[in-house]
Amino acid sequence: MDEVEQTVLALADMPTMGKLDPLFVHRKRAYRSFIIRRLNKIVYFVENDTLYIAAFWDIRREPKKQAKQTK
């Protein structure tokens, strides 16, 4: 199992492990994020005990542009 899969399983067990993401504070949902190996970012939200992955980013790219593309 790779590090991405391990992280997703850990988030499913403890969804508050990721920090509230400041790029999404203006949205209705509480988006959280978690950095993997300083290269990738998982952006997710939890609704009715279900974890939804909204985006998976390469954090070396422009974050504000990626945030606009995330629904």
| pLDDT tens readout for residues 44-71 | 999 998 999 999 988 887 767 777 777 6
Measured distance CA(45)–CA(16) in Å, rounded: 10
CA 39 to chain centre: 13
What is the pLDDT of the chain when averaged over all its residues? 88
Mean pLDDT in residue range 24-50: 92
- In one-letter notation, the amino acid at residue 67 is A
Asked if residue 34 lies in contact with residue 53, where contact means CB atoms within 8 angstroms, the answer is no
Instruction: Provide, rounded to the nearest whole percent, the portion of the chain with pLDDT above 70.
Output: 96
- In this prediction the pTM is 0.82
Going across the sheet that includes 19-20, the strands are 19-20, 32-36, 40-47, 50-58
3-state secondary structure of 36: strand
